[in-house]
Amino acid sequence: MKLKTVVCVGGLIALTSLPLLAAETHCREQELVIFSCSLGKKIVSVCASNDFSFSNGYLQYRFGQKSALELVFPTLIEVTGRSQLIQARTLMFAGGGGGYLRFINGQYHYIVYTAMGKGWGVKDGVAIEKDSRLIANLACQDVPISKLSEELFTRAGLSMDRIEFLIPGTD
Beta-bridge partner residues of 97: 92, 116
> Does residue 14 sit within a domain?
no
For residue range 22-56, list pLDDT tens digits in order: 468 999 999 999 999 999 999 999 999 998 888 88
Beta-bridge partner residues of 46: 35, 61
Average pLDDT, the chain: 83
> Does residue 11 sit within a domain?
no
Instruction: Please give the tally of structural domains in the chain.
Output: 1
If one compares 171 and 120, the residue with the highest pLDDT of the two is: 120
User: Is residue 166 pLDDT above 60, yes or no?
Assistant: yes
Q: Tell me how far the alpha carbon of residue 22 is from its chain's centroid.
A: 13
> Does residue 59 sit within a domain?
yes
For residue range 106-139, list pLDDT tens digits in order: 999 999 999 998 888 999 999 999 999 999 999 9
Average pLDDT (5-14) is: 35
The whole domain housing 29 covers 23-160
Cis peptide before 144 (omega within 30 of 0): no
> Does residue 154 sit within a domain?
yes
